[in-house]
Structure 1
């Protein structure tokens, strides 16, 4: 990053603007205070175009919380209907190339346009209150961040962004097949799956490895404990995947010979 980019990023980080939390979100007891603040940040970023592409890594750095907190907040906000996200995958893979987040204006009780341009306050005394005013005497507005002005690497963080959707799919499938309860947010698990994705493997490959080793080890008490991410998705992943291919070739050969009279 050159000096000009550093100055630009520093300016954006220090830019003063208001965060707004709609009453529906603010008073929702199903959300933690941190999740409400994360919604507010997302809401602010969507003001320019009605959507934003903020990655978990970007929000983590901006909100000064770990990525697990961001992931849980995003999932919770989606579950409650406050936000919607649209994932775009790279060709012929489960790797997410971009995530588009929008605010559900009707759920959050926003202005019909999906955004409120002014910050209003209720009357604060019996004499009657007024809307918050700026120096000009007009309704004070909060400044919008132009997300196109923020360094693209901060917004997309493609090289640094862990494929949360794929990780969830893999861990959920592993739990389903083994009856165990591994977490998709464990650092070692995330790191291993991400490493295999960088090697070019996809969800189908993970399923094949899980199926192969589950069939071999699940009924064996001394081996069942190895049905875990650090064993299955480690440096023997390719060998386990090869076992699946060899087993299929053997079974297909037997099917042919069975009818070769």
Structure 2
């Protein structure tokens, strides 16, 4: 293979659906810049998956960088812009024992921005329950679904799945050394996420089954992704063994929903 063909093959590996982050066109049009649109896309994704009753969730600047390749400055600038638009709220709340910036998306304001754009910049007093709002959002959802794959700009995964956090938690609880980079492990985790499970659900399964199986010579070997994250996941999730104080403290390191104001 000559040098030109080699470079071409490398470029091909960087491209394609598995190496891109899709950004809905409407977010680009509303925010008018790529970093803010990329951040808004992920803010909405994670906001919908938080277990906190107040709707907040947290992400460190390092996590944002790993997820969508934005620097701390870009995130801060984009958050400021989204706050000025009324789309995002921030608050300092405890996470891992320290005050941490938490985020919350105002879905109604976000919808108003979408409707305003669809009405060519004209503000309306539509509510989330109005027929006009629902119709507009249905139309834009169709547009997003159709155009997303043709409007991707950043390298990385299409959506961030917390493989590392889940496998690290499993390793911490079991004393084992599973890899979060294993394709087989990632496939299992991704399949459960596609069934609308959350990161906290994985932690619950790990807690439940380590409480029952750890230290049992016949069952300890089944404390592995292949068993825990397969077809019986829902059954494991709904078992309710009691957590010790030490277990709860360990869970707090990985699960921000344990912290309240």
TM-score over 0.5 for the pair: no
User: Bigger relative contact order, structure 1 or 2, given CA contacts below 8 A and separation 6+?
Assistant: 2
Larger radius of gyration: 1
| TM-score, with length taken from structure 1 | 0.39
| TM-score, with length taken from structure 2 | 0.39
